[in-house]
Amino acid sequence: MKSRFIRPAVAAFFLLLPLLPAQYAGSSPVDEARKQGFDDIDEQACKGWLEVLAGPAMEGRGTGTKGYLKAAKWIAARLKAFGLEPAGEQGSYFQWVRLVRFLPNQQASKLSVGGWSRKGGDGVVFESCEGKAEGEAVLIRGRGRDLSLQDPESLRGKVVILSVPLRDYFRSPLRKQIREAAPAAILRIVARAAQRRGMGRYQLASAVQMGAKLEDGPARKLLKKLGLPAKLAAHPKNAGLEVHPSKKSVRLTVKAKKEEIKSPNVLARLEGSDPELRDEVVICGAHLDHLGKRGTTIYPGADDDGSGSTALLALARAMKTNAKRPRRSIVFLWVCGEEMGLYGSKWYVENPLFPIAKTVCELQMDMVGRNEEKGNERPEDNIQTIHLVGSKKLSMDLHQLVLEENHHVGFEFEYDEEDVWNRSDHYNFAEKGIPIIFLFSGFHPDYHRPTDTVDKINFTKIANTARLMYLVAWRAANRIERIRHDGELSK
């Protein structure tokens, strides 16, 4: 991928970043109980840490790679040097996440209804999975971004056949409903079922989904065998959702080559000071992974999410440095697999090292090191801005706490990026009913490109993100009253 040139005005702006003040203008002093840790957050330290994390030795920190493991060990070494307690498995700083991927043998795999069967190839491609699955078939046809089932639980154990445009499927509630219903398999009707040449993408070992892609011809034949009109294979022209159950069963038999790896989440804890409250935790999080290497090209991920990982490191050191500890414990969590599909955080909430019921809130930092640059917005117009995402969905109490603590930092909050609500690791915590906040400084032209490099980072913004999250975490952990939960998750 070709490098992108920075406009001269933008380049000049980045040269001025070290001259920017620490806290933004108009911010108020911090109380003595938290001032020692607050003052410990240092932009130069952040710069040094990020230069390591986004440096060539880490090779883009791709989950499952040597570069990612090197980054995880480097973070763990910093935590040990800070004097923070390991919070991983078996007294370590690591929680190991199991990932698998498959290369299906298409000709040895088949799709069957009664005595009729179809092997892989020529319009049928089996997904990255292995094993056997069988269940009654249900055809779901739809179009539109608001597709939602009235009774998604009825899909449990069924073979779901989808005739829905891919864009609508991924953007509507339908995908989540189907996934949570745990169907036996998912068959997607697509315009072209391309066969992957190499191994499929990694998945959580605990959540491998049986499935296949079918082109129109094989899909029509399958529907006929199921007693359904063949014309229903076509995506509907009008918006809406249709459900067509069949009493006949579909069987999938998939044979594949399997590859399994483990990749660590990194965790440390600062124990709370109150014997009655220290078993409750406030989790502060970021994702350590990025895109790794593609060929010989390294994707350094300085902003995504080297910036959040760096801010979390600064926050962790500040908490340990501060003489007065909060009543509850603080957990610092760097997850793997975010770029693959929020895998590290999904694994954590399914295998929590601290009980979900004892988790007060989760505070997420993802891409907090740049000034938003999109459309007609220039980076120099967004020096103090940051997006506060999802803070009103589960706890207005937590939202208000963030607003109050921001008086000490001075961010200008924006609320126009709610579309990224489900695109970082806080989402898996919110799905468990845990109040969250998500700080995100916005998109820019270097997003997911090899040009996401350290020289373009606003270290004042990283440090101020760490300062704000330090204050919010300390106060949420120190209150006698636990953060109030507003009830059902607001979508």
Question: Which residue ranges form the domains of the chain, and what is each CATH number?
Answer: 8-99+261-478 (3.40.630.10), 106-254 (3.50.30.30)
Q: For residue 490, what pLDDT band results from cuts at 50, 70 and 90?
A: low
Q: For residue 230, what pLDDT band results from cuts at 50, 70 and 90?
A: very high
CB atoms within 10 A of CB 263: 26
pLDDT computed for residue 489 by the predictor: 65
Look at 76-80, 193-197, 317-321 and tell me which has the smallest mean pLDDT. Answer: 193-197
Per-residue pLDDT of 53-65, as tens digits, reads 999 999 999 999 9
Q: Rounded CA gap, 363 and 108, in Å?
A: 47
The three-point CA angle 20-25-27 to 5° equals 125
Q: For residue 50, what pLDDT band results from cuts at 50, 70 and 90?
A: very high
Q: Rounded CA gap, 459 and 45, in Å?
A: 10
Q: Rounded CA gap, 29 and 23, in Å?
A: 10
Per-residue pLDDT of 309-326, as tens digits, reads 999 999 999 999 999 999
CA 92 from centroid of its chain's CA atoms: 23
Residues of the chain with pLDDT > 70: what percent? 95
* pLDDT of 178 strictly over 60: yes
Strands 131-143 and 240-254: antiparallel
3-state SS of 164-215?
CCHHHHHHCCHHHHHHHHCCCEEEEECCCCCCCCCCCCCEEHHHCCCEEEEC
First-residue to last-residue Cα distance in the chain = 37
Q: For residue 8, what pLDDT band results from cuts at 50, 70 and 90?
A: very low
